[in-house]
Structure 1
């Protein structure tokens, strides 16, 4: 992003501080500067108004910035057609290896090789769902913090501030997406179902770059990552509630955002209404960083636990499927574990933008739990736990996986499903009432 975006240009240094010999500013010059500022502001808002994007984030701008960065040479990419054959073969082989390792059937009906630009294009709708609640809460805090008389006086200016805020958010999101797109390896690389349903997608050029420091053949790394992508797709496709629960938990986190409105007074002194760059810099400074509330802590705990359970299950299933077939499988598993646990610069950028780190902090504990349940009760019982959201382990279960495994039978969905338990209780009551209604004069109804 340029220093003076959206039609703004740098002031003429020769004009700075110019005054009339009397020491007074030239009224005509001040008028001209004001006119120029309003003209530039009009151009900016006109550009925003011509966008089809609406809401708290200008997604058209975000996409434009991301695509420009990904094609400008700053972040290179290779066409997806060069990798399509290799990606297709890798996914098909991985699916065959996964079949004996899980009871969940193949979930991907389409296999794609994406460039970083393809990744932005295909994941942007999901990012919109993730970012909108956060941006809406932060943007709303600006208006909520204003006294009633100030809101009335501001009038149409509030809409202008909203447009500039949407562009500022869009600019930050575009840069973050470009950086993420240059690093992600698959469509599920950060643990969320970002791409279209039932679509396994690998970024061949990124995988080739990732492989350079691993001392393993590119084909081996490709198959390993294809197995992880295919395992994620099996889970997201055949556990209908999982996709919705993950995204809804992010929305719950956003709904609890509270902004320290006292920081707005200091922020007001740093913002130039004619320069949206000043808004972006103020947002980046952390002055409006949301405060963590108890509701957010609870949502974050649920999200981190669910992400860990997903990543732990994938880790175990893929390990069972490929360890004896790929010589470097153990080393690759450890590399991916550390990569997911620590997060890269791009993920940290997203965390700063959205206020949320998408990390499975307890991945190893979750993997140990899934391994224990599978060894003790078999694959059917292990995978059957995903049948209902109330059956999946909690954060407390990760602390004591042995206790959780002891509670799980071979048919957990039947024994532990709370809905089934309620139905059994209702049936018991009905039977008891029927026996009470029976009389000795009607022996035919006796058991």
Structure 2
């Protein structure tokens, strides 16, 4: 059944048009990216395994340098696979829900998001779905060549150190999702659980509009907890989103902590890289800041710091062995509430240990 809920062709056109600004693909340095990232991806995979004990069960990591249109196309393919069950569900609704106007609006919104992100993302592990279709284009560690070159030039980053540093972060995410046997399926299960409860109910839209109006009266930041996706979710969806946010905060924090530890002694500028990119994340102003907040990206950026803080508190209490309890089973993952209050997670996990003795 064709997916008519989003005009994917329009999404790709809009995203590509936005991405064409300030492209650095013609730089003579571009040719160095592919061999460098092939080498550093392999090196990073070993360093991550030695540091975390997590080793992929899906073979060696494959790094791929992409320009912005390539990255956009890869993400659209992933989103199409991910949203296919939702599209099939919505196709059974009244045709007004799937009108051409709605499809094009969704396509334009998706294109705007991907186009904007294509100028910001440096690396990405494509974890969404492993299927029989096009397996050679899945389980890929992507590096956005133009963005990497722009950052190196703008801040004077030593290319070899910076590229290994990036590879460490992305290979940590791959080790998480392919080294913890249940993690990928658990994540996709939570996403599907959220999508299963999607219902284009006018009452929900009216309730969301009412919340926006009330927030304006009280001065509440209505988008602080995840932007429009959280605002237009049901209580059941918000509970699932809480679980997803907690898990992703842990993974992002673990990625940052691991890249620092795995690169110790090899990447002398790691602190400078981290400080500079952290400032870059927080420097958005004007339209960019509003856009990040509305679509929920600001909440995601906050996950980095929250996850690192959680790991620091946990390891202060019980070292890496206590943190490693999170990888034992889905029930051990922290919720977002526990990420923000680590002692709650520590008490829960240590109590389970005592009770099992």
Question: Scaled by the length of structure 1, what TM-score is found?
Answer: 0.59
Contact 2:48 2:54 in 1 (8 A): no
Unmatched 5+ residue regions in structure 1? 1-51, 144-157, 265-285, 425-447
Aligned to 1:54: 3
Shift, 1:256, TM fit: 5.0
Q: Is contact 2:332-2:349 (8 Å) kept?
A: no
| Alignment match, 1:211 | 152
Structure 1 position 74, deviation (Å)? 3.2
The residue aligned with 1:164 is 101
User: In structure 2, do the counterparts of structure 1 residues 335 and 243 end up closer, same or farther at CA, with 3 Å as the change threshold?
Assistant: farther
- RMSD, aligned α-carbons: 4.3
The match for 1:177 among 92, 114, 119 is: 114
C-alpha separation in 1, matches of 2:145 and 2:154: 16
In 2, distance between residues paired with 1:341 and 1:136?
A: 38
Give the match for residue 166 of structure 2: 225
Q: Does 1:202 align with 2:152?
A: no
Distance (whole Å) between structure 1 residues aligned to residue 230 and residue 343 of structure 2:
40
Aligned to 2:300, what secondary structure does the other structure show? Answer: coil
Distance 1:167 1:124 in 2: 15
CA distance in 2, matches of 1:118, 1:228: 21
> What is the Cα deviation at residue 303 of structure 1?
2.1
Report which stretch shifted further, 159-168 or 197-206.
Answer: 159-168
Give CA deviations for 1:293-326 in whole Å, capped at 9, x if unaligned. 3223323322221111111111111111124332
Distance 2:110 2:299 in 1: 16
1:113 equivalent to 2:65? Answer: yes
- The CA deviation at 1:232 is 0.8
1:234 aligns with 2:168: no
User: Match of 1:193?
Assistant: 127
Equivalent of residue 342 in structure 2, options 401, 406, 431? 401
In 2, the alpha carbon distance for the partners of 1:262 and 1:113 equals: 42
2:254 pairs with one of 313, 318, 324: 313
Q: Which residue of 1 aligns with 2:21?
A: 74
Distance 1:262 1:207 in 2: 41
Which structure would you say has the larger Rg? 1
1:331 positional shift: 2.8
Q: TM-score, normalised by structure 2?
A: 0.71
Pick aligned residue for 1:101 from 51, 54, 57: 51
Q: Shift of the alpha carbon at 1:56?
A: 0.6
| 2:302 alignment partner, SS class | coil
1:29 counterpart residue number: none
2:239 aligned partner: 298
Aligned to 1:267: none
Distance in structure 2 (CA, Å) of the matches to 1:393 and 1:306? 6
- Asked if structure 2 preserves the Cα contact closer than 8 Å seen for 1:304 and 1:361, the reply is no
Q: Deviations over 1:185-237 (max 9, x none)?
A: 1124xxx7358554222112211112333332222221111110111111111
The 2-side partners of 1:376 and 1:262 are apart by 43
Change over 3 Å in CA distance of 1:244–1:59 after alignment to 2:
farther
1-structure distance, mates of 2:228, 2:166: 39
Q: Secondary structure at the match of 1:56?
A: coil
Distance 1:380 1:164, change over 3 A: same
Take 2:18 and 2:147, find their aligned partners in 1: how far apart are those partners?
A: 16
Distance 2:97 2:235 in 1: 33
SS at match of 1:230: helix
Specify whether residues 82 and 215 from structure 1 end up closer, same or farther in structure 2 by C-alpha distance, changes over 3 A only. closer
C-alpha distance 372-160 of structure 1, shift in aligned 2 (>3 A): closer
Q: CA deviation at 1:85?
A: 0.6
Shift of 1:381: 5.2
C-alpha displacement at 1:184, in angstroms? 1.1
> What does the per-residue CA deviation read over 1:113-164, in whole Å, with 9 as the maximum and x for residues that have no partner?
11112212222232225556788899999x5xxxxxxxxxxxxxx4696233
C-alpha change, 1:138 and 1:160, in structure 2 (3 Å) is closer
